[in-house]
Amino acid sequence: MSGVKFELQKEVFESTKERLHGVVTVQKTNRKKKIPAYLCITGSIERPIRFTIYLVKKTEKGFKRKQEWTLSSLKESNYKSKESLEFDLQLEKSYHWLAQSVEEKDAFFALLHQICSRMHRPPKFLNFHIDEEDEATRNVNMAIVSVPKDTQMIESGDEEFGLTEREEFDLEKVLGRAENAVVNAEAFMEQLAKELSILDGENIHSIMDSEAQVNSLMDSIDKSISQLEEIENELVDYEDAVTHVKSAVEKIEEENSQMGTAAKNNQHLLSELTNLIRALDFPVGSQILNADFNSVEGIAKATKDAYALKEALNIEENIHPALLKMRSVADQKRRLEKFKQKFSQNLMSHLAKLFIHHGNISSIDSSSTVQALRLPIINLMYNELTPYTKLMGWLKVMDSEAYGSLLKTYTLSIQKIYEKNVRILFEEARTRISGSATTSGKLSGSTNDLRIRGRFFGKTRSLANREGDTESQGSGEGSVDSSERQHFYDILEQVLEGLEPSVNTEEKFIASFFCLEIGSSSSGNVSIVSPSKGSAGGELRRIMSSLFSAIETELNSFLTNYEKMEASFCMGAMVRLGNHALKAENTSTYIGMIFGSVLVQEKRSFDRLMNSYVQAINDSRLPRKAKPGILAFVTDFEDFAVMAESIFGNSARRSDLEKWYVKMLTAVFDGIMRLAGESGKTPGEVIRMENFHRLHSILSRLKVPALEQQKKDAKIKYNEALNGYVTKYFGRPLIKLNEFFEGVQAKVSQGVKESEIGYQMAFSRAELKRVIKEYPAKEVKKGLESLYRKVEKHLSEDENLLQVVWRAMQEEFIVQYKSIESLISRCYPGSKITLEFTIDDILLFFSEIAQSH
């Protein structure tokens, strides 16, 4: 029970600042289900105290206040009987509860009664009697609930009561003990006085007994005093002695600290001097001057000594500046300086000799350049020089003048090798190209440049006068075929591949040997930065460009030379240069920049070439023959596209090509339209129809996603031209009939009723009969035959559109026939006028025309 009480207090009443005084576990009498609930009596912690009765239920989530009443609303409580667990409370209505046990019920009622008893208008308690036991229980409960004695309850604010329970209790106790006093006060007082006198007597006796003891105590005290004085005298003596000792000790202490300082200073001095000597000491002074550069061990030793010397010369960093003023220090520095100069001179002259030596021996060997079409890598020299790398680093820091002059010597000696080999490489490349080409004789040296230039669209001009003109044949012979083209690209590829490793190796070597920075990010964009202008990593770039200046000029002149013979070579050159420039190992290297810069040149050549093609299309004329057929620039475009696709493939440069495709096609479209407009004998529709049909076929085969729109446009233009041609010419066989019914149609659309057409002068039945007479079946057949011949004459063999056109014309003719028939039946009803030929006649004519070919 107390557990529940504690939980209730904590979970329910803590928050409302109330104190739980009593609780009884109850359930409703009329409920079958046992839902335990707690009927609680609480009082507020703050004053004035308010008593409240709560009904609290325990749910899964914890306790929950279901109902509350103020205590004052309790009107009546019925205890029922001691044997029963039931009890009633009359609040705003009557509640019947069943307590869990009689004890709980009793305790609750006792508490309720106790609290209520103090109220102004206490409620009625039925069947509830407080007996003596209850009184005791009540006191116990009082202690438990600790209702303060002096509590002023709001319900009982004006109630008076004489003694509290405690006082009453105490008084009872006293009264219990002093029962006699009330009965016989005088006897009691006498007894007390007697006792008092006995105690006085005892007291005086004991005082008198203690005097002797006091005297002996006084003696002892006197003795002690004299002894104390003696001790004091002795202490004064000691103090004198100690004062002397103190001053002596202080003196010793002072001396001690002075000695310590001296020792420390000596130590400092010693270490400082040791440092100085160690720093300045250079025991191998003479060895370094005689350093042996001819063996790896010698070089390693020299490197070690050189760095030791560098360390010694850098004493400023390790030593107090004041020490530098020491004469011996200055002397030693001077000596070291001399060592340094001598050593760097030795090193410089040795390396310079090596450079010149290699410059001479390596230049002899250029056969590999020729054989492999590959710039040599001077591995011999690299291997020999690599051990000196650290010494080079030393020299750069210690003697920048010597370093600079060595750099110059190196550049001058090695430059020769590369210049020569680059020249040989390109000469060999030329030989190989012309060597294989001698069989067909097209790329061998001095071909007539201008004749071949602009192969594809150059042909346009010669095609225009192909009839009996041998010039076109000549031009055809002059152009290179695809195997020669491939050969040229293969050689170019070999040259580019042959240049790369050597130049890259050299660049790496120089960067590490001369301790130079490899080009920085500014050179990342290969195609824009020109090698001569590279700013960051400038020194390396400068050396590289003086070593390999030949490459760019040779490569440029090589390409220019061959592009003079065959302008379209720039396309492949562009693709290959682009591939090489974008290679991972070439990014931000010198060769990458060279390729990038040449690539820019090639891109310009390509743009020029493309422009010339577009120009050629724009300048093209209609051929002087009866049937223009497929225009030369249309077939040229196909040839060009096939070649361009084979060159560009999916290379990074493809976007350049596609841009020009679009421009070129725009020119082709415009060209077709323009020439169709200029055409004399052959109808423009035919030129447009045939050429756009071909163009659509070319683009379908090409399958370039970027040209999808152009493909669709070509199809649209073809269909437009086909329809235009058919409608323009199909009317010919029945021209007068058509004119007549066009007039009828015009009248109808002006608002004349169809049935009244026959009353118009120009369109009377007689007139209609007259026109129909002109087209007997025989005439119609003749007309159709001549139309077929005409179409046959218009169309060229190139595009095989005769069947397509004729089918469309047949269809159109039947449509026309039917529309005339229906107009007759509507406008001249009942006239029994019909055309002189039937649809079966027409079909028969078609079959006969078919059979006659």
Could you give phi then psi for residue 291, rounded to 5 degrees?
Answer: -55, 140
Return the number of the residue (115 or 641) whose C-beta is nearest another protein. Answer: 641
Q: Going by DSSP bridges, is the β-strand pair 76-78/124-126 parallel, antiparallel, or unpaired? A: parallel
Q: Does 23 bind another protein (CB under 8 A)?
A: no
Which of these segments, 338-346, 448-456, 646-654, 800-808, binds another protein (CB under 8 A)?
A: 800-808
Q: Does 849 bind another protein (CB under 8 A)?
A: yes
**What is the nearest approach in angstroms of another protein to the Cβ of residue 693?**
7
Return the number of the residue (216 or 803) whose C-beta is nearest another protein. Answer: 803
Return the number of the residue (374 or 459) whose C-beta is nearest another protein. Answer: 459
Contact pick of 180, 379, 483, 847 for another protein (by CB under 8 A): 847
Return the number of the residue (97 or 837) whose C-beta is nearest another protein. Answer: 837
Give the separation between CA 194 and CA 395, rounded to whole angstroms. 128
Which of these segments, 70-78, 314-322, 636-644, 798-806, binds another protein (CB under 8 A)?
A: 798-806
CB 136 within 8 A of CB 142: no
CA distances from 31 to 23, 55, 92, 96, 102 (A): 20, 16, 20, 11, 19
**What is the nearest approach in angstroms of another protein to the Cβ of residue 843?**
4
Return the number of the residue (662 or 844) whose C-beta is nearest another protein. Answer: 844
Give the separation between CA 594 and CA 142, rounded to whole angstroms. 108
273: Cα separation from own chain's centroid: 60
Contact pick of 246, 624, 703, 790 for another protein (by CB under 8 A): 703
**What is the nearest approach in angstroms of another protein to the Cβ of residue 785?**
12
Q: Does 704 bind another protein (CB under 8 A)?
A: no
Q: Does 685 bind another protein (CB under 8 A)?
A: no
Chain positions 195 to 214 lying near another protein, rule: CB under 8 A, are none
**What is the nearest approach in angstroms of another protein to the Cβ of residue 686?**
14
Q: Does 786 bind another protein (CB under 8 A)?
A: no
Return the number of the residue (226 or 650) whose C-beta is nearest another protein. Answer: 650
Q: What is the DSSP string of 752-797?
A: --GGGGGGSGGG-HHHHHHHHHT--HHHHHHHHHHHHHHHHHHS-T
* Contact characters 445-474, another protein, x per CB under 8 A: ----------------------------x-
Any alpha helices (H) in 281-387, and if so which ranges?
285-289, 296-313, 321-324, 327-364, 367-372, 379-385
Q: Does 308 bind another protein (CB under 8 A)?
A: no
Give the separation between CA 284 and CA 302, rounded to whole angstroms. 10
* Contact characters 727-766, another protein, x per CB under 8 A: ----------------------------------------
Chain positions 814 to 833 lying near another protein, rule: CB under 8 A, are 814
Quote the tokens at residue 12: 């329910």
Q: Going by DSSP bridges, is the β-strand pair 18-28/37-44 parallel, antiparallel, or unpaired? A: antiparallel
CA distances from 107 to 101, 102, 138, 722 (A): 10, 8, 8, 116
Q: Does 844 bind another protein (CB under 8 A)?
A: yes
Q: Does 810 bind another protein (CB under 8 A)?
A: yes
Q: Does 274 bind another protein (CB under 8 A)?
A: no
Q: Is 691 exposed, middle or buried (0-12, 13-18, 19+ CB in 10 A)?
A: buried
**What is the nearest approach in angstroms of another protein to the Cβ of residue 797?**
8
Contact pick of 808, 821, 825, 833 for another protein (by CB under 8 A): 808
Return the number of the residue (249 or 839) whose C-beta is nearest another protein. Answer: 839
* Contact characters 470-509, another protein, x per CB under 8 A: ---x--x----x----------------------------
Q: Going by DSSP bridges, is the β-strand pair 86-90/94-99 parallel, antiparallel, or unpaired? A: antiparallel
96: Cα separation from own chain's centroid: 76
Which of these segments, 243-251, 335-343, 770-778, 809-817, binds another protein (CB under 8 A)?
A: 809-817
Return the number of the residue (767 or 841) whose C-beta is nearest another protein. Answer: 841
Give the separation between CA 801 and CA 722, rounded to whole angstroms. 10
Give the separation between CA 395 and CA 515, rounded to whole angstroms. 10
Chain positions 97 to 156 lying near another protein, rule: CB under 8 A, are none
Side-chain-side CA neighbours of 3 within 13 Å: the count stands at: 0
Give the separation between CA 143 and CA 688, rounded to whole angstroms. 121
Q: Is 567 exposed, middle or buried (0-12, 13-18, 19+ CB in 10 A)?
A: buried
* Nearest of 80, 100, 77 to residue 89 by alpha carbon: 77
CA distances from 278 to 183, 275, 284, 317, 383 (A): 120, 5, 13, 14, 36
Which of these segments, 313-321, 559-567, 575-583, 837-845, binds another protein (CB under 8 A)?
A: 837-845
CB 99 within 8 A of CB 25: yes
Which of these segments, 288-296, 310-318, 437-445, 805-813, binds another protein (CB under 8 A)?
A: 805-813
Which of these segments, 430-438, 493-501, 735-743, 843-851, binds another protein (CB under 8 A)?
A: 843-851
Contact pick of 178, 277, 536, 850 for another protein (by CB under 8 A): 850
Q: Put residue 80 in one of left, alpha, beta given phi > 0 → left and psi -120 to 50 → alpha.
A: left
Which of these segments, 222-230, 402-410, 448-456, 801-809, binds another protein (CB under 8 A)?
A: 801-809
Which of these segments, 147-155, 179-187, 563-571, 844-852, binds another protein (CB under 8 A)?
A: 844-852
Give the separation between CA 435 and CA 446, rounded to whole angstroms. 13
**What is the nearest approach in angstroms of another protein to the Cβ of residue 703?**
7
Return the number of the residue (782 or 807) whose C-beta is nearest another protein. Answer: 807
Contact pick of 505, 679, 697, 745 for another protein (by CB under 8 A): 697
**What is the nearest approach in angstroms of another protein to the Cβ of residue 466?**
10
CB neighbours of residue 505 within 10 Å: 15
Q: Does 838 bind another protein (CB under 8 A)?
A: no
Q: Does 180 bind another protein (CB under 8 A)?
A: no
Give the separation between CA 731 and CA 784, rounded to whole angstroms. 10
Quote the tokens at residue 500: 């790369």
Q: Give Cβ neighbours of residue 176 (< 8 Å, ≥ 6 apart).
A: none
Which of these segments, 36-44, 288-296, 430-438, 840-848, binds another protein (CB under 8 A)?
A: 840-848
CB 194 within 8 A of CB 186: no
Give the separation between CA 342 and CA 289, rounded to whole angstroms. 7
Contact pick of 693, 717, 781, 794 for another protein (by CB under 8 A): 693
* 182-192: b (≥16 Cβ within 10 Å) or e: eeeeeeeeeee
Return the number of the residue (258 or 700) whose C-beta is nearest another protein. Answer: 700
Q: Does 792 bind another protein (CB under 8 A)?
A: no
Contact pick of 40, 631, 799, 828 for another protein (by CB under 8 A): 799
Which of these segments, 117-125, 210-218, 548-556, 794-802, binds another protein (CB under 8 A)?
A: 794-802
Contact pick of 51, 97, 806, 837 for another protein (by CB under 8 A): 806
Q: Does 801 bind another protein (CB under 8 A)?
A: yes
Any alpha helices (H) in 185-210, and if so which ranges?
185-209
* Contact characters 372-411, another protein, x per CB under 8 A: ----------------------------------------
Give the amino acid at 608. R
Q: Which residues bind another protein (CB under 8 A)?
A: 473, 476, 481, 693, 697, 700-701, 703, 799-804, 806-808, 810-811, 814, 839, 843-844, 846-847, 849-851, 853
